[in-house]
Amino acid sequence: MTYKNFNVETDADGIALVTWDMPDKSMNVFTEEVMDELDKIIDQVVADDAVKGAVITSGKDTFSGGADLTMLQRMLKLFREEEARDHDKAIKMLFDGAGRMSWLWRKLETCGKPWVSAINGTCMGGAFELSLACHGRVAADSDKVKMALPEVKVGIFPGAGGTQRVPRLTDPQSALQMLTSGQNLSPKKAKQMGLIHEVVEPAKLIDAAKAMIAAGLKPVQPWDEKGFKLPGGPVYSAAGANLWPPAIAILRRETYGNYPAAAAILKCAYEGLLVPFDTALRIEQRYFTEILRSTEAAMMVRSLFVSLQELNKGARRPQGVPETKFKKIGVLGAGFMGAGIAFVTAKAGIPVVLLDRDIAAAEKGKAHSAGLMDGAIKKGRATEEQKEQLLSLITPTVDYKDLEGCDLVIEAVFEDSEVKKSATEQTEAVIAKDAVFASNTSTIPITGLAKNSKRPDNFIGIHFFSPVDKMMLVEIILGKKTGDKALAVAIDYVRAIRKTPIVVNDTRGFYVNRCVLRYMSESYQMLIEGVPPAMIENAAKMAGMPVGPLALTDETAIDLAQKIMKQTIRDLGEKAVDQDQFALINTMVDKHGRHGRKNGKGFYDYPEKPAKKHLWPGLKDLYPQQDADKIDVEELKQRFLVTIALEAARVMEEGIVTDPREADVGSILAFGFAPYTGGALSYIEGMGVAEFVALAKKLQKKYGAQFKAPKLLVEMAGKDETFYERFNPYPKAKKAA
């Protein structure tokens, strides 16, 4: 038989090699067609008496990225359509669809012939669950091989046997940590955990897999053998009593109950380990069906899988502009930001000219890259050879003539218009007319800066976030005269350094900073109201934010917040800044000398290690304190999320961001907006626009004008409209999911 996505060859020893190689795809993924073909291949292997067993591997550099989650979106769309007609029938349809992969893998592992998975590259999600269902598992000894069950990161969980096989192969504590975090495993780590059997040289992978079958590999899984015992002992045992209650408490501490899929993993594992394996799979299927119907899953899959992939593939790139293959990039300013930009550029294999006012500063900027590579070497993530290769790509200089031949120059000098004007003029004197000039400014509008340029159509903003090497988002800012070529080059560059681009029209604070400033501002207001500082920070974390707003202000610097407020007053007048909040910031900086983490004194105190930072005790003396028992914590949580979401809606209304995918993905990647919501706009949609507007009105009445819903939201609520309908980012032929 011939297949579209697989090639099946049986050797002289009767071992079938099943090679998965999807045409027209860079990575193998599970689709309905792929699963149909695998079903037939299992039947073919079983029916052919000449076949002793089968090895499954990939014909690509990677094994598989797992399921195509757009398949789940289609399933859920059909479910919603059927639910409107027949609820029970719709649930049954979703239940059966949710179990398709699980029972296919069960068919494979009980087919009576041995299967071995030969893992040659990245093996994620359903692909790793397929491997776990095989009787033998061999992985290539390579840095390119990573195994994981990462579904929890997009709001679902390993629903094809992952929650049952992993805790039957390794100790339950390691199993739960792996399942609830979605962590990547190296071949060595996976073997230590007992999840794979062998790690071999890449060239010997298929031979090793075949050898397992030739050596008489039993076609029976351990859990199907009589007398099988769980690696960690029974659930109802002394060991179980020491594991499960703390595991529940730890999960609650880490997630605050915001991630239903993570809680479902614990339930699946706990209940499944009490019953026979087939019953356990049925339990998993039940929970998976339930999680698929959750708002969190729908929003997270849309933003953190579908939209993220589309943006990473250049969804906003202008068509018809040839792709840029970067030969050389210039970075102006070798301070913390410029040095970070040089590092990520060199890491992508692109030569960098790092320019500063004196050679010592430029060399110091290059040394930043050396330090980052030293850290990676210590952690086993890089080699000395890779460090030397990266450093060889960075050329420190003080001479603008060295920028000649650059395809793109990124300016990261001081936030001073005159300094930036000089840097622009000196650069344009030496670079080619069609080269693109980008500013990394975080506060100065791009249109104004472009006035310093002789070719504003090739002038653009590329706004990085700190620290550059860790933050995955980049804002690309369009000036009024920025052309398609500059936008295409900027997107090509951001993709080349493996970060996610979002495109933003020019405005004060762009998109991300506008939202972040609202988050911080609400915390200042709470302080003024007398909400205990610890409650402010804890409520923000309970709402799903990774860092409390007071801690975040310390990281960015309180005196910077003061400078921004003063500049805003100069530009827009005193009414543009809340005077009570301005007084608070002035008191912190001018009276108490508390500038943030950088001087060891901010909203927190920063003692020398090993002591940990702690809230400054003097905070509670600035304003009369409310009785904590009388404060509604749920309302504090709402205030943080609603104020950010309202700002995101205003940005859409003003046309600063035009694509809801960018607003959602940007809010999560830039400042960690409660990922379980799917992002700032999805938070509104998940609640329902009308319900959100009603909540905003309630908060406005109680706390002030910052909660006033923009006309756009009120109009959308009246029409029962969503952002993904009103600002549909897809062509007419493809409706928004």
**What CATH number is given to the structural domain containing 157?**
3.90.226.10
- φ, ψ at 466 (rounded to 5°): -100, 140
* Domain annotation covers residue 384: yes
Q: How many Cβ atoms sit within 10 Å of the Cβ of residue 651?
A: 26
**How far apart, in Å, are the Cα atoms of 724 and each of 302, 637, 641?**
11, 25, 20
The tokens for 213 are 């079958």
**Do residues 56 and 199 both lie within one domain?**
yes
* Domain annotation covers residue 475: yes
**Do residues 458 and 531 both lie within one domain?**
no
CATH number of the domain that residue 412 is part of: 3.40.50.720
* Identified catalytic residue from 135, 197, 368, 463: 463
In tens, the pLDDT along 693-704 reads 999 999 999 999
* Domain annotation covers residue 352: yes
Among 508, 541, 576, the domain-final residue is: 508
The residues facing 394 across adjacent strands are: 352
Give dist(CA 494, CA 687) in Å, integer: 33
Q: Which residue bears the tokens 């029209």? A: 505
Helices (H), 451-529: 484-496, 512-529
**Do residues 482 and 577 both lie within one domain?**
no
* Domain annotation covers residue 656: yes
Residues 6+ apart with CB under 8 A from 289: 91, 94, 95, 98
Give dist(CA 539, CA 534) in Å, integer: 8
**Do residues 64 and 80 both lie within one domain?**
yes
Q: Which domain holds residue 78?
A: 6-293
Mean pLDDT in runs of 10 for the chain (737 residues)? 94 96 93 95 96 97 90 86 90 92 97 97 96 98 94 95 97 94 95 96 96 96 95 91 92 94 96 97 97 94 94 94 96 95 97 96 97 94 94 97 96 87 95 95 87 95 93 95 97 97 89 94 97 97 96 92 89 91 96 94 93 94 95 97 98 96 96 96 97 98 96 96 94 52
* Domain annotation covers residue 428: yes
* Domain annotation covers residue 657: yes
**Do residues 36 and 112 both lie within one domain?**
yes
**Do residues 360 and 454 both lie within one domain?**
yes
Instruction: Decide if 463 is catalytic.
Output: yes
Give the β-pairing of 352-355 and 123-124. Answer: unpaired
Q: What is the pLDDT of residue 732?
A: 63
Residue 256 burial by CB count (10 A; 0-12/13-18/19+): exposed, middle or buried?
A: middle
* Domain annotation covers residue 695: yes
Report the amino acid identity of residue 717: A
**How far apart, in Å, are the Cα atoms of 406 and each of 167, 399, 403, 719?**
53, 14, 6, 50
**Do residues 21 and 48 both lie within one domain?**
yes
**Do residues 471 and 519 both lie within one domain?**
no
Residues 6+ apart with CB under 8 A from 692: 642, 645, 683, 684, 709, 713, 717
CB of 481 closer than 8 Å to CB of 451: no
**Do residues 633 and 533 both lie within one domain?**
yes
HSE of 387, CA atoms in CB hemisphere, 13 A: 18
**Do residues 529 and 480 both lie within one domain?**
no
Domain count, the chain: 3
**Do residues 281 and 226 both lie within one domain?**
yes
Give dist(CA 389, CA 499) in Å, integer: 21
Give the β-pairing of 604-605 and 614-615. Answer: antiparallel
In tens, the pLDDT along 472-504 reads 999 999 999 999 999 999 999 999 999 999 999
CB of 434 closer than 8 Å to CB of 458: yes
Residues 6+ apart with CB under 8 A from 635: 699
Q: What is the pLDDT of residue 736?
A: 45
**How far apart, in Å, are the Cα atoms of 402 and each of 2, 332, 348, 419?**
57, 11, 20, 19
Buried b (16+ CB within 10 A) or exposed e, 495-507: bbbebbbbbbbbb
* Domain annotation covers residue 147: yes
CB of 508 closer than 8 Å to CB of 521: no
Q: How many Cβ atoms sit within 10 Å of the Cβ of residue 546?
A: 13
Give dist(CA 542, CA 512) in Å, integer: 21
**Do residues 490 and 522 both lie within one domain?**
no
Among 489, 508, 527, the domain-final residue is: 508
CATH number of the domain that residue 718 is part of: 1.10.1040.50
Q: How many Cβ atoms sit within 10 Å of the Cβ of residue 458?
A: 24
DSSP one-letter code for 4: S
Q: Please, what is the Cα angle at 401 between 396 and 404, to 5 degrees?
A: 95
**How far apart, in Å, are the Cα atoms of 713 and each of 124, 125, 210?**
39, 38, 61
Among 508, 525, 550, the domain-final residue is: 508
